[in-house]
Amino acid sequence: MKYDVVKIKITNDCNRECVFCVFNGKDSKREIMSYEEFVTICKRLKKLEFDKLHINGGEPLMHPDYKKMIMYIKEEFPKKDIVLGTNAIILANNLGLLEFVKESSNEVCIGCDTEHNNIDAVEKVVPQILDGSGVLVVINSLIEYMSDDYERRLKAVAEQNKGRVILVKNHVYHMRQGNPINKLTGLCKQDNKRFLMVQENGLCYRCFNCEVPQDSEFSIYDEDFYTKVNLARDKHYRFCGWCPLYQGGEA
């Protein structure tokens, strides 16, 4: 089975406390993936087919070994596109790190909305990332946390950098709130996109929207990991009934 994107969450620590984040809460234990664990996970991933390797968090730039980790995957996965997921706040105040990101990333995905409260950082950082690089910038905003001001300013950022900045809007995911909105039929058609997400604790998910941690299917440390990761899914996730992106096929 080939995956389009493999995402590794190297930490759940962050410099923001967004209300929609599953890592924000008194019961959320701060976890950080050690460099040794990261190397072990990458070695297990080398046997899989995929196109993009997405490094995420939390805020991955807060990880003390972030640069070391990126240098490792650049060497071990030279043909993979490297994607960074960030809120850009640290980049706005660290030119050296920003230059490293420009040199080491093919794509930078930035979460930006009123809950992130980071529009000033985004307006500053995006032109710097694009200057003299071939990096693609994707700005992801949650519809429930967008204001007219943010909408206007983000559109201006995209307009000023046509073809190199993509604006994406999504609904809040990961958490079941209220009554289900979907009548479940067949498995979601988005499964065809083949996503694999590995948490900082090794738990794996094959949908980026599913409920964390309840929807984990297996661990990357399982002895039969390669069997499980290559098996087609045969049941819905717990979150499918609440997911705005659910696309059910025939039952």
Closest Cα partner for 131 from 103, 110, 154?
A: 103
The CATH number that applies at residue 225 is: 3.20.20.70
Average pLDDT on 226-241 reads 92
- The total number of structural domains in the chain stands at 2
Whether 186 and 202 map to the same domain: the answer is: yes
Here the tokens at position 73 are 């995957």
Whether 63 and 73 map to the same domain: the answer is: yes
DSSP run (H or E) holding 126: helix 119-130
Here the tokens at position 113 are 């909305």
CA 141 to chain CA centroid, nearest Å: 13
**95 in any annotated domain:** yes
Whether 73 and 119 map to the same domain: the answer is: no
Query: pLDDT confidence of 250, banded at 50, 70, 90?
Result: low
**184 in any annotated domain:** yes
Q: Rounded CA gap, 208 and 229, in Å?
A: 15
Q: Rounded CA gap, 41 and 33, in Å?
A: 10
**17 in any annotated domain:** no
- Indicate the residue among 156, 172, 188 that finishes a domain: 172
pLDDT higher at 178 or 69 = 69
Best mean pLDDT range from 97-101, 170-174, 193-197, 244-248: 97-101
Whether 119 and 163 map to the same domain: the answer is: yes
pLDDT given at position 25: 57
Whether 115 and 233 map to the same domain: the answer is: no
The 10 Å CB-count burial string (b at 16+, else e) for 163-188 is ebbeeeebebbbeeeeeeebeeeebb
pLDDT higher at 124 or 23 = 124
- Indicate the residue among 147, 172, 197 that finishes a domain: 172
Whether 121 and 77 map to the same domain: the answer is: no
**121 in any annotated domain:** yes
pLDDT higher at 27 or 106 = 106
**155 in any annotated domain:** yes
Whether 189 and 219 map to the same domain: the answer is: yes
For the entire predicted model, the pTM comes to 0.92
Q: Rounded CA gap, 227 and 114, in Å?
A: 42
| Burial class of residue 16 in the structure, from the number of CB atoms within 10 Å of its CB (0-12 exposed, 13-18 middle, 19+ buried) | middle
When the pLDDT of each residue in the chain is averaged and rounded to a whole number, the result is 92
**251 in any annotated domain:** no
Whether 93 and 72 map to the same domain: the answer is: no
**20 in any annotated domain:** no
- Indicate the residue among 145, 172, 199 that finishes a domain: 172
**124 in any annotated domain:** yes
Here the tokens at position 130 are 């694009």
Cβ count within 10 A of residue 209: 23
Whether 102 and 166 map to the same domain: the answer is: yes
Whether 128 and 142 map to the same domain: the answer is: yes
Average pLDDT on 181-198 reads 87
Q: Rounded CA gap, 63 and 144, in Å?
A: 29
Whether 95 and 50 map to the same domain: the answer is: no
Q: Rounded CA gap, 136 and 33, in Å?
A: 27
Average pLDDT on 160-183 reads 87
Query: How would DSSP label each residue in 152-190?
Result: HHHHHHHHHTTTTEEEEEE---SS--SS------S-BGG
What is the span of the domain harbouring residue 164? Answer: 87-172
| Burial class of residue 146 in the structure, from the number of CB atoms within 10 Å of its CB (0-12 exposed, 13-18 middle, 19+ buried) | middle
